[in-house]
């Protein structure tokens, strides 16, 4: 998968690359240009925050970047591999191996325990049940929920659920993690728990794109992109202060 054997295009220099990407919904008078000619490059290990008012196209862009949806026009690369023309099976493989998604509404399987939710992508990728379980246990530990392995989502708090969802996104060691308002459903305490996890990911060099309404989250990224009506209106490189560390603003370091 990860780009080997493929002719490396100019998208290859970046982990993610969008070139004049557009997506519209509806027709005629009801036509909505959810994403309208967006260009975006995300480098290896970079954390990009996307902000903008509700309905400006942030989620749609994220879905396009991760192969959950296909653009109407434009080109998309993940680690040098072109994905905008891929068929559904190919996209499924991309989502499984190269991308980890974190959603605002968590989207855990209600009937599976925390550890089972986490190992789901690994099992789908054809790992042995034992290897998948070992990895899931590691990840649970990493997000601080080792003692909640056998709990159902309904038995976990919002912050815990979101940390399980992040662990699941990491199950197959994705090239990039895409998070859509990951703290949007959480109170400030749970937001801190989740930010702590993203912070450690950032430190570990994980490529991250986070859509957020929370300026505290946004201010800690390497780069902040502002969207309006489907297009990028502003781009800020955040290099000063905490050198982009997510944790510093919420005083994780004490």
Partner 1 sequence: MGKIVVIARLAIRDLLYRPAQAVLLLLAISAATTVLSLALALHGVTQHPYQQTATATRGPDLVVQLGGVQGPHKGVQSGIPSVVEAEAEKATHAAGVTAHSGPYPVADVAMRADGHTVLVQAEGRDQAAAAVDQPKVTAGSWVRPGGVVLEREFAEAVGATVGDRVSLDGHPYTVVGIAVTAAAPPYPNMCSVNCTIAFPPGVQGSNRVGLAWVDERDASSLAVADGGPPFYVLNLRLADPAQAEAVAGDLGVPNAFNVTTWQSIAAADGLLVQDEQQVLLPGAWLAGLLAIACVAVLAGGRMAAQGRRVGLLKAVGGTPGLVTVVLLAENLALALLAAAIGLAAGWLAAPLITSPGAALLGTAGAPSLTPTVAAIVVAVALAVALAATLAPALRSARTSTVSALAGAARPPRRRGTLIAVSRRLPVPFLLGIRLVARTPRRATLGAASVAVTTTGIVAVLTFHASVGERLGGASSGVTDPVVTRDEQMLLVLTVALLALAVLNAIITAWATLLDAGGSTALARALGATRSQLAAAIAAAQLLPAVPGAIVGVPLGVGLFAAANGGGGAATTFPPVASLIPAVLAILVAVTGLAAIPAWVGSRRPVTELLAQDAS
Ligand X SMILES: Nc1ncnc2c1ncn2[C@@H]1O[C@H](COP(=O)(O)OP(=O)(O)O)[C@@H](O)[C@H]1O
Binding site for ligand X (CB under 6 A): 25-26, 32, 34, 52, 54-60
Tell me, by CB under 8 A, how many residues bind partner 1.
39
The option from ligand X, partner 1, Mg ion, none interacting with 80 (CB < 5 to 8 A, set by class) reads none
- Minimum Å gap between C-beta 98 and partner 1 is 9
- In whole angstroms, the minimum distance from the beta carbon of 54 to Mg ion comes to 7
Phi, psi of 154 (to 5 degrees): -65, -20
Residues between 170 and 199 with contacts to partner 1, criterion CB under 8 A: 171-172
- The residue to which tokens 């509806």 are assigned: 26
Q: Which stretch binds partner 1 (CB under 8 A): 106-114, 141-149, 201-209, 213-221?
A: 106-114
Binding partner of residue 101 among Mg ion, ligand X, partner 1, none, CB cut-off 5 to 8 Å per kind = partner 1
Hey, which residues between 51 and 80 contact partner 1 (CB under 8 A)? 63, 68-69
Side-chain-facing half-sphere of 181: CA atoms under 13 Å: 18
**Calpha distance 156→144 (Å, rounded):** 13
Question: Does residue number 183 form part of the binding site for Mg ion (CB under 5 A)?
Answer: no
* Residue 240 DSSP class: S
User: What does the H/E/C string look like for 1-59?
Assistant: CCCCCCCCCHHHHCCEEEEEEEEEECCHHHCEEEEEEEEEEECCCCEEEEECCCCCCHH
- On whether the CB atoms of residues 49 and 225 are closer than 8 A, the answer is yes
Please list the residues that pair with 76 across neighbouring strands. 18
Site for partner 1 in 84-103 (CB under 8 A): 88-89, 92-97, 101, 103
Per DSSP bridges, beta strands 176-180 and 47-51 are: unpaired
Binding window for partner 1 (CB under 8 A); candidates: 36-44, 120-128, 195-203, 235-243: 120-128
Which residues bind to partner 1, rule: CB under 8 A?
A: 63, 68-69, 88-89, 92-97, 101, 103, 105-112, 116, 120-129, 132, 153-154, 161, 168, 171-172
Which residues bind to Mg ion, rule: CB under 5 A?
A: 59
């Amino acid at each position: 998968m990860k780009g080997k054997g493929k002719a490396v295009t100019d998208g290859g220099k970046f982990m993610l690359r969008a070139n004049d990407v557009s997506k519209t919904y509806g027709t005629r008078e009801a036509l909505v240009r959810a994403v309208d000619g967006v260009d975006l490059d995300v480098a290896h290990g970079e954390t990009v925050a996307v902000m903008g008012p509700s309905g400006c196209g942030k989620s749609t862009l994220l879905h396009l970047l991760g192969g959950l949806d296909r653009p109407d026009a434009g080109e998309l690369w993940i680690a040098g591999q072109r994905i905008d023309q891929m068929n559904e099976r190919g996209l499924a493989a991309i989502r499984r191996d190269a991308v980890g998604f974190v959603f605002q509404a968590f989207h855990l399987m209600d009937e599976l325990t925390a550890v089972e939710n986490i190992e789901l992508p690994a099992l789908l990728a054809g790992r042995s049940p034992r290897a998948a379980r070992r990895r899931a246990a590691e990840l649970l530990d990493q997000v601080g929920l080792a003692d909640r392995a056998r709990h159902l989502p309904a038995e976990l708090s919002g912050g815990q659920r979101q940390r399980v969802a992040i662990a699941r996104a990491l199950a197959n060691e994705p090239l990039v993690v895409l998070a859509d308002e990951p703290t949007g459903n959480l109170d400030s305490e749970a937001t801190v728990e989740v930010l702590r996890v993203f912070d450690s990911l950032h430190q570990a060099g994980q490529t991250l794109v986070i859509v957020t309404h929370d300026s505290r989250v946004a201010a800690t990224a390497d780069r902040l992109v502002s969207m309006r009506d489907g297009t990028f209106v502003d781009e800020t490189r955040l290099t000063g202060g905490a050198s982009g560390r997510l944790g510093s603003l919420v005083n994780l370091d004490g």
